[in-house]
Every structure is written in structure tokens, then in C-alpha cells.
Structure 1
Amino acid sequence: MPPFTTKTLRKAIVDRVLAGQPVTPLCPHARECGGCAFQDRTYADQVAAKTTILRMLYAEGGIDASALEVVASPDPFAYRTRMDYVATKGRFGLRARGKFNYIIELTTCHLIPPTAFAAAQAVWRHALDLGLPDYDVRTHTGFLRYVVVRRSPDDELLLAAVTAGGGEEAVMADLAATALAQPGVVGFHWLVNDSLTDVSFGEVCRYWGADRLAMRVGHFTCFIGPNTFFQNNIHLTERLINDAVAAAAPDATMRVADLYGGVGVIGLHLAQSAARVDCVESVAESVQLAHQNALMNKVSNIHPICADTLTYLREQPTGSLPVVVVDPPRTGLGLPVCQELIRIAPQRIVYVSCNPLTQVSDLQHLQSAYRIVGLRGYDMFPHTPHVEVMAVLERRVND
């Protein structure tokens, strides 16, 4: 078999799932909508397919993954903490699978609760009533680009309208009033993305109601904003974090690094056992929220640090970090970060990855100094080819 690429890994998962048992999907658009690829196959077959393909991928990289299992989402529906609905050409929905410029118009969506979808749709409909034109990604004309839903475990909602530049504040205030009148909505943000890049993030122009959303995870509550990264499975996030902390196993003598730490959710859990946790994050907004989350949860031994991970690691002496937890973006750690980790020589590394391909590459570098003692998948995105993997590494001693 040739080496896996992003395209072939996705195809391998898709082909394996589609060979499973067909079922009637909940959504009539499931076979064409880019939000769900596998609603027409049993969920057990989806998890089994991801398990098989992950084992193949890691074995191809020279990593024994024969014992790898994928933890299923407790519920494969209504699981997402964030949804980005496209508004274009009089349609409200998600992009068609494999057709970036075609929008599947949705009247419901089973990835979030019905009330959350209805709230987002109500905002879009009122925007049309107000005469706000949808954005055309081909011609780069129009105004309203996305309606974004952030949803908490308590089903509170933070909505955002992502628009092109321009617009009148009075009109957006009218739209905000409609948003805040929807059940569960605690805040509404107006985000401006005036670039040609089609992303559902933007600069905060104004907000009404709450500026943040409380995300309860275990014993802690972490606030997030409209642009903040947060794990996107409301049913499985706590399990993943608890497993990562248990694998890290810090004690009261240890200084621990939580790299790519975001708003501090993993760091707060680590701080229950560690002497000190450095929560390292390069996005200033997330670092500010991590500070606020530490104060609100009355945790004094977590220290949010606004820094690039590589820069932070280069400043740490060898032997200074007994335990390191990493949760990088899809690009992975990269060789320089792996080299710094090997130099610092933590006893244990817990590596949470949203991209198994880059994780395999990083693990190949780290294996010169570390043994992989655990691999486990987490199906954070049911009905899609995406899967999260946690690897646990122990430093080699006299191998």
C-alpha cells in the first residue's frame, strides 16, 4: 500500500464505512451534505471502520497499533459545540460534499439540538427581512457570510453573524434583538471578515448580551468567545480530558506544561494534581480567557503564558518538565518542537491529535527517545471521516 495522504486516509475511512450496513438517515440530505458523510450507515460500523484504518495508518508508520480502539461518542447526534451555517444565494445551510460553491439548504440539522438550529435559522430569516444581502463567495459581493452557533453542555447558545465590511449598527442591533429572543441564546456577536478568505471567524465589531459562553467540563467551567477553539463533541470532551490527565499522572511535586493550551480546560484539570501548570498558548484572546477561567475556578497554580510553543520550549532547561501534554492544531508538532521535547526529556508526554497523519510523523521523530505505551482513538466527529487520537509516550531508559 502506498503511504497514506490526507486524501487517501479520508477515502479509506469513507470506503470502509460505506461497506457497512446501510440504514435510513435522519436527514434527507445526509448523502449530499458536507456536514455528514455517514448518516446512512450504522454508527457501530463507523467506529469499527475508523479503528481498522487507524491501525493500518500507524502500522504503516512503524508504530504498533494492534491494540488501538476508538471510543465511540455516547450519542452520535446533537453532539457539536459549534456549527457554522453558510448564508449565500438565498440559501441557509452547509456546503455540499465535494462541491464548495453549492449550498445544501437545510430546514433542520441533527448535529445540534433542534432549538439551536431554529435560533440560527431565525437570525438568517430576519436578516433577509431586514434586506441584508447574503454573501456570494464567487463574486465577493453581499454582506452576511455565516451564522455561527456556539452551544454549551447546558444548551445555552452564543450566536454570531459573520459579515463582510460595512453595515449599519442599528440594523445589526435589530438582528441581535431577534437572536436574543430565541430560547437559550445568551449573547450575539457581530464579527467582520472583510477579506477574500472564506472563513467563519472575524473581528468582533460589537456584541449584545453576554460576550462569552460558559462551557462546563467536569468540575470546571471555562468561558469561550465566538472565535475561541474548543473541543467539538459535547458528549465526549470530558472523557478525552479525563483520559489525558490520567495518562499524564502528575503529582504534587511536578511542574507540568500544557502546550497549545487554549482557554485552559486541560490545564485546569492537570492543576488538581500538579504543583504548577504552564498553560502555553499563542492566541492572546485564549490566553486572556485562560487567566479569567483560572480566577473564576479559584485555581492558583495554573499559569497561562502567551507564547509560541517552540519559543517557550527553547527557554526551558533540560529536565525541567517531568510531564508535558500537547494538543496541537492539524499541522502537528513539527520536527523543531519534537527535537526540543527530546532535549528537555520529560518522563512522559501525552499527545492529543486531531490529525493522525501529522501525529504519526511526529511520533516517528519522538520514538528515538520515547516508547509509545498507549494509543486510543476518540470519535469526536460522528458521521464524518475525522477522528482524534491520544498517544502516551514514556522516556526510554537504558534501552
Structure 2
Amino acid sequence: MKLLELEPAAPVYGGMCLSKKDGIIFVKGALPGERVIAELTESKRDYAIAQTVEILNASSDRVTPRCKDYNLCGGCHYQHISYERQLSIKEEILLDCLVRIGKMKDGEIPLTETIFLNQWNYRNKAQFKISGRSETEIGFYREHSRHLIPIAECYLLNPVINRFLEKLTGARFLRGIKEVQILSGTNTIAFVRGDGVDEPQLDFFLDIGFDGVVTDNGISVGQTFCVLESTTPPYTYTVSPMGFIQSNWAMNSLLIEKMLELLEPLDGKNILDVYGGGGNFAIPLSFSARTVTVIEENRHSVEDGLRNVKLNNVKNVTFKTKSFEKYRSMQKYDVVIIDPPRSGLTNKAMETLKALSPSKIAYVSCNPSTFARDTAKLMDMYALLSVTLFDMFPNTYHAETLSVFELKTDTLRNIKMK
């Protein structure tokens, strides 16, 4: 075991801080400005990773983690940091990425605001792992391992999911089940994975209060999708276990509200919603826009979307089940909404986006590094108008951004001349 005395200077994406003493070292469990003893856990050619084991000089922003399992299950990264400092750290990391990777000047980045709500009990979706030993245990895997950490209560989950977690803990009917996913909205459903799940096991889920349960081999009892309501604007959204939903529905609603504000007026405009899922953006945008076309490869999400269109009596939304990289259209889109996976846009997807050359792009990102990289690629054609940071996942290093790009005047002129 190699111990080092370090003084991390800056936060970096991934829940760590950067120390440049004795080379590049990414330190877990430390705050900028602290002096710590850290154990070297991983060494690479260009950098190393260390875990804080002792605080020699604590930051005033350090707080006592609320959860006794913090640093064990790996689900949280920032519980040792005051919430105000968590927000400023995420801002610093975003700005740093846009400067270093996005090639922007520090004073020219239009970070307009940071939006946040509750620090605790915000998740309406959870995925629990189950141990099949003599006494069934339920919880989360330790970070980067298959070692189960039993969880009695998770402070990130909404109270409904925590109540069901209590009912599932130690239940004999879970034997043979490897994983339980819970989705909670106006109803609560479970999605279970395992070998040979039988009917009495499914009935058990209904008996303890679930509205429905679905297995990975297609067997189901009760309701098969989760229902969530939104008020800004008012609409109903449904999602099946194999579809996609933002796990912080309250913040998701604020993101949509901000998107509508930044893109208005939308009257008479045609919108393309890329990686659109079950219509999370398409449904609320459709009330103002002329048409919305959704590009989505996941057939389960498309099924959710078709159900959502029908439930909300929407007539101007269409779904196309194909990859964006292969999308070709003679349709002119005024706005493209793009919400890519953590890896950002592929080179081919970037080519497709630029070829469409919409007047505006609303880019929703969950990774500041890949967002910054894609921003640099867009800047030859587009101006970055605004960046809004949403703390979708408090107490973790994850954050969501909504950014709006506008086609540059000279780019528009060149397009018209072609």
C-alpha cells in the first residue's frame, strides 16, 4: 500500500480532484484546497488514481455524509460536500471543459443559470441487485465490482421506492431473481430479471402493493407501464421497463419548461427530435410546433411514444425507428433537439446534423466532456447562445445541460446561395 500526502487543486469530471504533485493524480474523496493522505489505487503511464484515507486539513465545504453506506455502494460521489459547493463544482467542471476541449474563451461562455431542486429523495427509478445466498439480500453493487452492498434505505430515492425496498428486503419470493427495477409515478411497477420466475413470485409483487410486474422474458401481471404527469405544460407520459425515462421527473419538467422558453416562438415550425425516446420532449413541444418528427432506434421507446401520442390526443408527432446517422430527409427543420448518449455525437451523426442545418439546435447533454467536444465541432456553423446547467442528480458528479445554438448569419447566407 502506497500512501501519498496530496493537496488537490481543482475538481474534475468523475467525482475526483486533480493533484499535480509527483505527476498527474486524480484523487477520490477530497475537495479542492484540502491536504489529505491518499492511497494509490491505480497507476497508468500518464496518470494515477488515489483514494483519500485521511483528512489532514479539511475544507470548510466538507460535511458528514448522510448515508452510512456512502463510499461503499458507489451510487453517490459528493455526499461529503455541502450542496452549495456541489453546484459550484459542477459549474467549474463545465466551464473548464468548454475552455480546454471546446476551445472557447472563459469570458465568452454564456452559462446563464444553474437550476436545482431537492437534494434528496428525487429519483423515481431504481435498479436493485439481488443476492441468491441462503438469506436473500437486495442492494447495489460496489463501484466497479459485482460485490453486493445490502441497502436498507437510499436517500436519493423517492419515499415510495424506499417503502417497496423495505418490503422486498429478505423476501423469500425473490430467490432466483437477479435484479428488480422499480419505476414510480402515479403508479408503481416492477421489472424483474432472473431464471425461471414463476407466477406465485409475480403475484407476490402485486400482494405487497405494486400495480404491475413485468419479467425480462415478457411475462407480466397487472399494469405494464409507469404513468407520470406533468403540469408545464400539462400532459401524461408513460414508460415501459425497457423504455427510457429521466430518473428525476421533477427536474425533467423544469428542463422542458426552460427549453420551451428558449425556443419560443415555435408556432408554424418543424422540429426534429433526435434520440427522442418515448416523446419526452416531442409531446410538450407538439402543443406549440407545427410538426415534430422523432428519431429513435429503441423499439420499446417507440411503442411508448405511440401510446403517449394517443393518450395526449396529439396529431402532429411522428416516429421514425432508425439511426440518426442514416437519416436522410428533404424536410427542412427549423429546430433540432438532440439528446445523445453519454458518448455524445458520433462523427457521422455530427455530419448529419450539420447537413440538416436547422436555424436552432437545442443540445441536451449528460457529459460535459463530450458536449464540449461537440461544441467545438459546431462552432464553424453555429453560435452558442446559452448554456443552462440542471442538477438532475444531486450528490453525484453527474449533471445535465441544455444549450441552444443558432445558425450564424454568414452560414445561412451560404446555404441560401447554394
Question: TM-score under structure 2 normalisation?
Answer: 0.79
| Counterpart-to-counterpart distance in 2, 1:25 and 1:236 | 23
1:74 paired to 2:117: yes
Provide the secondary structure at the position in 2 that maps to 1:100: coil
1:333 paired to 2:316: no
Tell me which residue corresponds to 1:11.
16
Tell me which residue corresponds to 2:190.
159
| Counterpart-to-counterpart distance in 2, 1:235 and 1:174 | 31
Which has the larger Rg? 2
Tell me which residue corresponds to 2:83.
43
| Counterpart-to-counterpart distance in 2, 1:39 and 1:232 | 19
Question: TM-score under structure 1 normalisation?
Answer: 0.83
Tell me which residue corresponds to 2:214.
189
1:47 CA displacement: 0.6
| Counterpart-to-counterpart distance in 1, 2:390 and 2:31 | 17
1:146 paired to 2:179: yes
Tell me which residue corresponds to 1:354.
366
1:95 CA displacement: 2.1
Please list every run of 5 or more consecutive structure 1 residues that lacks an aligned counterpart in the other structure: 1-6, 134-142, 192-203
The match for 1:262 among 250, 269, 277 is: 277
1:56 CA displacement: 0.8
Give the conservation status (yes or no) of the 8 Å contact 1:30–1:38. Answer: no
1:252 CA displacement: 2.5
| Counterpart-to-counterpart distance in 2, 1:389 and 1:20 | 28
- Identical amino acids, percent of aligned pairs: 23
Provide the secondary structure at the position in 2 that maps to 1:341: helix
The verdict on how the C-alpha distance between 1:8 and 1:49 changes in structure 2, with shifts beyond 3 A counting, is: closer
Give the conservation status (yes or no) of the 8 Å contact 2:153–2:165. Answer: no
| Counterpart-to-counterpart distance in 2, 1:216 and 1:177 | 23
Higher strand share: 2
1:211 CA displacement: 0.8
| Counterpart-to-counterpart distance in 1, 2:339 and 2:370 | 12
| Counterpart-to-counterpart distance in 1, 2:158 and 2:355 | 47
5 Å-filtered alignment, 1:78-97, equals 78-88=121-131, 89=133, 90-96=136-142
1:323 CA displacement: 0.9
CA-based RMSD of the aligned residues comes to 2.4
Give the conservation status (yes or no) of the 8 Å contact 2:124–2:161. Answer: no
| Counterpart-to-counterpart distance in 2, 1:54 and 1:20 | 23
Give the conservation status (yes or no) of the 8 Å contact 2:213–2:223. Answer: yes
Aligned residue identity for 1:351: Y
The verdict on how the C-alpha distance between 1:120 and 1:284 changes in structure 2, with shifts beyond 3 A counting, is: same
1:247 CA displacement: 2.3
Aligned residue identity for 1:256: I
Tell me which residue corresponds to 2:416.
none
1:353 CA displacement: 0.8
Tell me which residue corresponds to 1:394.
406
Aligned residue identity for 2:344: G
Aligned residue identity for 2:214: H
| Counterpart-to-counterpart distance in 2, 1:121 and 1:263 | 31
Please list every run of 5 or more consecutive structure 2 residues that lacks an aligned counterpart in the other structure: 1-11, 19-27, 35-58, 412-418
Aligned residue identity for 1:366: L
1:46 CA displacement: 0.6
Tell me which residue corresponds to 2:329.
316
Provide the secondary structure at the position in 2 that maps to 1:24: coil
The match for 1:113 among 139, 149, 158 is: 158
